[in-house]
Amino acid sequence: MAIATAMGRGGVGIVRVSGPNLKSFIMDFFGQALTPRHAHYLPFHDKNGIALDYGIALYFVAPNAYTGEDVLELQGHGGPAVLRLLLDRCLEVGRPYGMRLANAGEFTLRAFLNDKIDLAQAEAIADLINANSGAAAKAAAASLSGVFSEQINALTEELITLRVLVEATLDFPEEEIDFIEKYEIRPRLLKVLTSLQETVQIARQSSFLNEGLKVVLAGEPNVGKSSLMNALFHRDVAIVTDIPGTTRDAIRDTLDLDGVPITVADTAGLRDTSDQIEQMGIQRSLKEITEADVILDVMDSRNPHSMLATHEDIKNLEDKVVLRVYNKSDLVTPSDSSFKHSDDDHQTKQPRDSISVSAKTGLGLDVLKQAILSACGRTLGEASPWLGRKRHIEAMVIAIEHLEIANEYAQLDDSALDLLAEELRLSHDALGEITGKMTSDDLLGRIFSSFCIGK
């Protein structure tokens, strides 16, 4: 049992109780039976018969309840003191039945263990509760409905079919047939592999709704990084002056960009300096750059120079998305610009992954925002079919790796069937980790410990 509503004061507070048989507990608590799935308005008494609160009691009988066990919900007023008294009374009545306080996420864990939901759906409940945007909430709700699980289950069924065919052949080696050719193992395996690669790509894109994207503004001093930061947020987030080295420490804020939480960090300008404090700021800038998902390499359009490309301490950016941003484009004239402008829309024609902007006028900001979204595989207005997590992505990547090895063995005809069977099994196990059909107690502990008490 636990308080199921958030801490603090509210109009309504809920105490939830779950167990294998609550009929006797209900009789002891209320002195009467409750009709399942009916709302009962009645007092909640203490042991002396004094009303602690007046509210609604809802009784759900297993297996038609959230946890798959009997569930009782007491809906009263949302004051911390009255909810604590109500919870203490439940513990007092339930102690002879071995009842106790719930652990974090235990109600949802019991729903999983009783086959009411799978592990991906259980995680979707936490994602729905913690969603920071409407887009994230909709994607989490889709996962909770089972859309993502159905996709994984369909791929798993294909893998099971392949495993059955391969292992059956291993059991009957005397059959003189080209097994791989007869049962079309290669095209079937390739189909599963392709589908899984497409699914992991969607998972990577949707995971940004949950985990967000880290964007860093980098470049020389006085190229307009702080002005660009303020323009993106439509308010003064960073101090702007003409003095080089104004920004000494990283300044962060979060922007909701079409449902994706974008953490933008403005950093100290990169240059050679003897100022000890500025040097410390530059070191922090370098740290921000190494931890970023997307780096905006900001340059002055009038004299573009990329410190990001020449700084000796900046290395290994292969796994980063780097966008070259040419700021102060409003100050560029045709005579001194190295870029050519279109006569009809005045958009700067630039190399790929480059955007011309003006923090002062707002020119190009929409293009920049779309480019940032494109870095995580999204376009404006695009809805995610479901919400993926890093754990799901890691499991699918492992499954893909084993399928790729299996595909190599499948090219060897029937000479490596045992190795092919093992790789298919390992891929199957990896997918099973996503829905919880093959999982460990340690994994369950890590997942459900992140849930709130009462859920």
Q: What is the pLDDT of residue 373?
A: 85
**What pLDDT is attached to residue 349?**
37
Predicted confidence at residue 292, as pLDDT, reads 84
Model confidence band, residue 93 (pLDDT cutoffs 50, 70, 90): very high
Kindly state the average pLDDT of the residues 71-80.
96
**Pairwise CA distance, residues 199 & 192, whole Å:** 10
Mean pLDDT across 403-420: 86
Judge residue 130's burial from the number of C-beta atoms within 10 Å of its C-beta, 0-12 exposed, 13-18 middle, 19 or more buried: middle
The overall pTM is greater than 0.85: no
CATH number of 124-436: 3.40.50.300
pLDDT the model gives residue 340: 42
Q: What is the pLDDT of residue 241?
A: 55
Q: In the predicted model, what is the mean pLDDT of residues 89-110? A: 95
Q: Do domains 2-113 and 124-436 have the same CATH topology?
A: no
Where along the chain do its domains lie?
2-113, 124-436
pLDDT of residue 444: 85
Distance CA 149, CA 123 (A): 11
Which of the two residues, 207 and 67, has the higher pLDDT score? 67
Class of domain 2-113: alpha beta
Q: pLDDT by residue (tens digit) across 223-281? A: 888 889 889 888 776 555 555 555 556 788 888 888 888 889 888 777 766 666 766 77
Residue 30 above 90 pLDDT? yes
What is the model's pLDDT at position 341? Answer: 38
pLDDT of residue 344: 35
Three-state secondary structure string covering the chain: CEECCCCCCEEEEEEEEEECCCHHHHHHHHCCCCCCCCEEEEEEECCCCCEEEEEEEEEECCCCCCCCCEEEEEEEEECHHHHHHHHHHHHHHHHHHCCCCCCCCHHHHHHHHCCCCCHHHHHHHHHHHHCCCHHHHHHHHHHHHCHHHHHHHHHHHHHHHHHHHHHHHHHCCCCCCCHHHHCCHHHHHHHHHHHHHHHHHHHHHHHHHHHCEEEEEEECCCCCHHHHHHHHHCCCCCCCCCCCCCCCCCEEEEEEECCEEEEEEECCCCCCCCCHHHHHHHHHHHHHHHHCCEEEEEEECCCCCCHHHHCCCCCCCCCCEEEEEEECHHHCCCCCCCCEECCCCCCEECCCCEEECCCCCCCCHHHHHHHHHHHCCCCCCCCCCCCCCHHHHHHHHHHHHHHHHHHHHHCCHHHHHHHHHHHHHHHHHHHHHHHCCCCCHHHHHHHHCCCCCCC
Task: Among 117-121, 287-291, 442-446, name the most confident range.
Answer: 117-121
Pairing of the two strands 251-257 and 213-219: unpaired
Quote the percentage of the chain above a pLDDT of 70. 86
Q: What pLDDT, on a 0 to 100 scale, did the predictor assign at position 434?
A: 95
The reported pLDDT for the residue numbered 293 is: 87
pLDDT in tens, 338-353: 444 333 333 333 444 7
Cα 338 from Cα 318, distance rounded (Å): 27
The tens digit of pLDDT for each residue in 123-175 reads 999 999 988 888 889 999 999 999 999 999 999 999 999 988 888 777 665 55
Q: What is the mean pLDDT of the chain?
A: 85
